[in-house]
Amino acid sequence: MHPGGVKTIGFDGLISKLPYVLQVVSNWATPLVLSSWREGAMSSAFAAASKEVRREREKYQGVYLTPVAKITTPSKYALDERLATELHQTTEEVLKDLGL
């Protein structure tokens, strides 16, 4: 699942730290390149609650969805088993370091 570029509260916080002129430019340009948080959630909501997904379970099982709910072929990096293992191991180490 990939929500695409999404304008979040965290992004707004980052923009608020920029000089005023850059804030104005960013507020103008952001809607051209980023989706709203609602649009960003659409693919997840579709996958979780769509009647189409329930009806065509085999079609959607294990697929990669991009905005909005389009079945897409993942990049070669997303399919790289070595990178997947590295990500898993790094995540386990971070969680262990955090005591989780």
pLDDT digits (tens, 9 = 90+) for 12-67: 899 999 999 999 999 999 999 999 999 999 999 999 999 999 999 999 999 999 99
Mean pLDDT, rounded, of the chain: 93
Alpha carbon 61 to chain centroid, angstroms? 18
Domain ranges of the chain: 9-97
pLDDT bucket at 4, cuts 50 / 70 / 90 = confident
- How many helices and strands (H and E) does the chain possess? 6, 2
Provide the token pair at 58: 């085999």
Beta bridge partners of 71: 65
Cβ(3)–Cβ(47) below 8 Å: no
3-state secondary structure of 71: strand
Kindly report, residue by residue over 57-95, the tens digit of the pLDDT: 999 999 999 998 999 999 999 999 999 999 999 999 999
What are the angstrom distances between the C-alpha of 42 and each of 34, 65, 90?
14, 10, 29
